[in-house]
Every structure is written in structure tokens, then in C-alpha cells.
A and B are shown apart, each in its own frame.
Chain A
Amino acid sequence: MDINSILAIFSDQNGLAKFALIVLIGFYSLFALIILIQIRNLNRIVNQIKFSPIFTFIAFNHLLAALALLVFAVLFL
């Protein structure tokens, strides 16, 4: 790989941004999964019977949104 091809990669701002976005969204999806697991664990310690399932559902949707965004970024960017 010569210097020109390296320069070509780094001069493509859009390509770099796409790559960075995909990596960041991937990490964020893992983080969203950790949040969901943690909320489920904490709900076991103190459980507000009517609200706890809704809270878990919100965290689950947050994870789904992160995964959907990751799929969209990988497929369509």
C-alpha cells in the first residue's frame, strides 16, 4: 500500500465518517444491551409491579433502536 492510497482513504471524509459511525453505533448497541440487563437485574431487587415491566420494555426498545440503526448504517451507508 503506497502513500497515495493511504492519503486517498484519509481524504475521503464521508467514508471515514461512515466507518466511525458504524463502529460507534456497534459499541453503543452493546452499551444499550448492558443497560437493559442492568435494569432487569435492578428490577429484581426492587420491583414496582406496575411500572417495572414498562421500564424494561422502554430499555428493550432502546436496544432495538440501536440495533436497527446499526443495521441501517451497515446496509445503506
Chain B
Amino acid sequence: MPDELEGEFVLKEKKEAENEPSPTTPSEASAVKNLQKIHFLSSLAKYPADVIFENQEEDEEIILLVRRDLITNVPWLIAALVLIFIPPLISIFSYLFTPFFNFSADTLLVAELFYYLIIIGYIIIQYTLWYFNVGLVTNKRVVDLDLPGILFKHVSETKLNIIEDVSYNQVGSIRSVFDYGDVYVQTAGTEENFMFDRAPEPALVTRIIADLIGGPR
């Protein structure tokens, strides 16, 4: 009896598979899958639309795009906000400096404009560091772009078939509350290991990569 049931399930699965339209080209394959529209603040996207990367092969499609969780941007946003309000505060207490400093109005204006330009630069740099610290999982490989500083970048990639293990850790109350953590991708032998730093929904990311490496090699 159990054998018959199992047989029925297998037949049903086969029938369902037969009914599904079989894409012949990567673009058709992408059309069949639900492409996720992403914007400039997307930190996790499954089958992201309108994303390409260097050396992408024709039949290669991006399955997962991972950036640091959005909440990790809060410290530098607060810092920028505090910095924005410093010049008005200084102007309120300017009478304290008057006997010591004596600058013309033009000089002060240029200095203030320069100060705000530096803050804009700071915001652009911090956003760049977040935006380009990205991990991509495709149907063929894992690509990791690390950007510790604006003048330093590190790009590494590995084929899916040499990935041995994928795991994640989520330590601390903030990471638990906002559901983000570090995802580790361990590769075979002397190959470099990967880490998706502070990735959102690490359990989901780990499961997706595990499903990919668990498939036929």
C-alpha cells in the first residue's frame, strides 16, 4: 500500500513537471521566474531584475543578491544628522568665539558650504560602501564584492560545485530583533572562504545556497 501511494506521488510530481513550460533560453527562464524588482535600498533580492555583473556568462542568472541589512546604515545616518546640526549650534554660540576669531562673512559662507559638501561626501562614501558590499549567488557561482574602504575593493568568486558547507551565525539582541547575521560559505581545500557580512534573513540565504549546492553536481 505505501509503495502504491509513493508511486502516485511520484507520478503526480512527474505530471506537474510535464505541465510546466520549459524555458529554452536564459531570458525565457527569467521570464518564467518571478523577477523581483529592486531599488536603491534593496538589501536582499531573490531573482533580482535589472542587475548584471562583470564576466556574467550568457546562460548565467542571478539567483540571490545580498547586501548588508539596511539597519546597519543607522549609525552613519545618525552621525550625518548630528554633523548637519553643528554649524547652526556654532552660530548660536558664536559670541563666545568673537574675541578670538575674526573672519569675514564671505569666508564664513564658503567655510560653511565646504563643511556641508564634506557631509554630502561622507554620505556618498558611506552609501557607496554599503551599496557595493554585495554578494551574488548565481546558478553557477558565488561572487563576493567586499569594499572595506572607498579605495580598496576585493572581488572573489567560487564555483558552486566546490562549495562544501554553508552556515550562518546570528549573535546579539540587535541581530536577532532585526533578523540579520553573517553567512559563511566554506569552499573545498585551499580555496578562499566567503562571508556575507550582516546579511538580512541569514536562514533564508543559507537555505537557498544549501539547496543550490545540494543539487546535482
Interface string of A5-27 (1 = CB under 8 A from B): 00000000110011001001100
Closest approach, in angstroms, between the C-beta of A57 and any C-beta of chain B?
A: 12
Bound-state CA distance A55–B102 (Å) is: 40
What residues of B have a CB within 8 angstroms of the CB of A39 in the complex? 128
Specify the chain A residue showing the minimal Cβ separation from B155. Answer: A45
- Looking at chain B's contact residues, the main secondary structure is mixed
What residues of A have a CB within 8 angstroms of the CB of B128 in the complex? 35, 38-39, 42
Q: From known contacts A14-B103, A42-B153, A62-B124, infer whether A47 and B51 are also in contact, taking CB-CB under 8 Å.
A: yes
Instruction: Establish whether residues A24 and B145, one from each chain, have CB atoms under 8 Å apart when the complex forms.
Output: no
Instruction: Establish whether residues A46 and B101, one from each chain, have CB atoms under 8 Å apart when the complex forms.
Output: no
The total of chain A residues at the interface (CB under 8 A) is 35
Bound-state CA distance A47–B8 (Å) is: 46
Instruction: Establish whether residues B121 and A28, one from each chain, have CB atoms under 8 Å apart when the complex forms.
Output: yes
Instruction: Establish whether residues B53 and A47, one from each chain, have CB atoms under 8 Å apart when the complex forms.
Output: yes
Bound-state CA distance A14–B54 (Å) is: 51
CB contacts under 8 Å to B, within A30-63, are 31-32, 34-35, 38-39, 42, 44-51, 54-55, 58-59, 62
Instruction: Establish whether residues B121 and A48, one from each chain, have CB atoms under 8 Å apart when the complex forms.
Output: no
Instruction: Establish whether residues B106 and A77, one from each chain, have CB atoms under 8 Å apart when the complex forms.
Output: yes
Bound-state CA distance A65–B128 (Å) is: 18
What residues of A have a CB within 8 angstroms of the CB of B113 in the complex? 69
What residues of B have a CB within 8 angstroms of the CB of A44 in the complex? 54
Instruction: Establish whether residues A51 and B53, one from each chain, have CB atoms under 8 Å apart when the complex forms.
Output: no
Closest approach, in angstroms, between the C-beta of A45 and any C-beta of chain B?
A: 5
Binds A, one of B80-88, B130-138, B166-174, B191-199: B130-138
| Minimum-distance CB pairs A-B, first 5 | A49-B50, A42-B132, A51-B40, A45-B54, A46-B53
